[in-house]
Amino acid sequence: MAEVLLINASIKYAGVARGIQHYPPIGLAYLAASLDKAGIQSKIIDLGIEPLTVEEINDIIKSEKIRLVGISVVTPQIHNAMRIVRGIRSVFADSVSIAIGGYHISNDPTLIDRYPEIDFGLIGDGDISFPQLAKRVLDGERIKGIFNGEMTSSLDGLPMPAYELTPLERYKKMGLDAYPILGTRGCPFDCVFCSRAPMSRMVMYRSPEGILEEMSRYYDEFGGRYIFQDESFSLDRNKVMRFCEAILKWGKKVYWSAGGVRLDQVDEAMMELMWKAGCRTFFVGIESGSERVRNEIVRKNITDEEIFHAFRIMDKFKFEVEISFVLGLPTETEEELRETVHFPLKLKKMGIRCITQVGMKPSVPMPGSRLWDIAIQEGKIPADLIDRYIRFELGENFWQVWPNYVPDGLTIEKIRAYRKSGYLAYYLSPGYILWRAKRDIKNWRLLKVDAAELWSLLTTGHSTISFTE
């Protein structure tokens, strides 16, 4: 019988969310493992893939005799998270304590003051602090307010994430074919659109031995396939090299995605060793085709020449690289927007073959980001946007009702039109079509997916897997 219920909130209420939530909530899996280590039993509900209503959640709380509910929330989920909070409170009054964690509370700590239905919020990591707070609640103490999570001194000291408490088989049916794993926590960079909490800019690393221990435990579960959730996998070159050498020494056949890789950290020796060690895919954020916007506004600090140099290196191997861009950034001009949407085609015309997926997303101001502050200062969004969203004054669907940032001189319609032209120019280029056809002819599932993608691009101008539309 569980004592604590951990809920991963969802953007969509009582329905399966889009693909963005078709991964197990790794943060809650770590939290559940830490609770278990402290002698506290917990249960995980991922509303992104388990479409439960408030009434069904309350039934679980009643049957399990839950005394503490912890809800992990990012801003797009906050309206439905508050719907759940109020639904629980209306039935159980003060007999159940409710806590909020995740990026939103870290960037909006006064949420607790504005919505007293929430008992307490935890900012930052919860591995150490949440079990301590949970024990106090279970011992009968009524906890209120905001708490700062204590950071662990070593990621290797944390227990393995409790994925057994998540519906892994459901994720697999939705397309999960690799074991989700973390090699690092944190990201030191300050991109204008990023809503990462300030305390999470400190980067922590797991040892190669610690990562391999987890990989070996779940080798058979996913047939040696792994997907790293790291935002900046390549930050420490020596650690990357040591990890790859450890995999080669392990001797198992593995395939893995490295998560996020910085282009200015790419070198041939590292790429070669990653390839030999089984890395096949990763993600890079270019963000803008304009050097001025990329470096002065986004603060990416990567030149065009560094980008071209990195892709020439990556192209020596057979990596599948996904690249992304953000459209409509502060002070961006129409000419700079045009540069951005045609940058993938520019790389293709240079002979780059490793790019397999391109994402172009209109910019979205989120709490905690510099873009959020800029949008409020310029009067492009109201200061109480979060509360209006929570009250459903904007509507239900985040992607349709949350405002984009649109720089002066442009319109969202023009941004979307440019995005469509950039997508079609890239995806309908003869070289890309030939590569995709050769790949898909070997896999009818991929052919079906690509046919849907093509239809979406032609009719709507964006991808079926785009999460910002």
**How many angstroms separate the CA atoms of 325 and 337, rounded?**
10
**How many angstroms separate the CA atoms of 120 and 101, rounded?**
9
Question: Within 13 Å of residue 407, how many CA atoms lie on the same side as its CB?
Answer: 18
Question: Within 13 Å of residue 196, how many CA atoms lie on the same side as its CB?
Answer: 16
Beta-ladder partners of 279: 256
**How many angstroms separate the CA atoms of 396 and 62, rounded?**
28
Write out the DSSP string of 103-126. HHHHH-TTHHHH-TTS-EEEES--
Q: Which segments of the chain have a pLDDT < 50?
A: 466-469
**Quick one: pLDDT at residue 429?**
80
Chain centre distance of CA 156: 22
Helix 334-341 vs helix 412-427: angle between axes, to the nearest 10 degrees?
30
Q: Which of 354, 352, 363, 340 is nearest to 419 (CA)?
A: 340
Domain boundaries, the chain: 4-148, 177-363+407-436, 366-403
The three-state secondary structure class of 437 is: helix
**Quick one: pLDDT at residue 17?**
77
Inter-residue contact 111 to 104 (CB < 8 Å): yes
Helix 237-250 vs helix 208-217: angle between axes, to the nearest 10 degrees?
40
Looking at residue 467, what DSSP letter applies?
A: S
**Quick one: pLDDT at residue 465?**
52
Beta-ladder partners of 42: 4
Q: Which of 107, 91, 21 is nearest to 55 (CA)?
A: 91
Looking at residue 10, what DSSP letter applies?
A: -
Topology (CATH) of 4-148: Rossmann fold (3.40.50)
Q: Cα–Cα distances in Å, from 9 out to 15, 46, 121? A: 12, 7, 15
H/E stretch holding 80 reads: helix 78-92
Q: Which of 427, 429, 194 is nearest to 323 (CA)?
A: 427
**How many angstroms separate the CA atoms of 285 and 265, rounded?**
13
Torsion of CA 71, 77, 78, 82, to 10 degrees: -60
**Quick one: pLDDT at residue 386?**
98
Structure tokens at 127: 């591995």
**Quick one: pLDDT at residue 257?**
97
The structure tokens 């946007």 sit at 385
Span 177-363+407-436: which CATH code? 3.80.30.20
Inter-residue contact 71 to 7 (CB < 8 Å): yes
Q: Which of 190, 187, 279, 189 is nearest to 240 (CA)?
A: 279
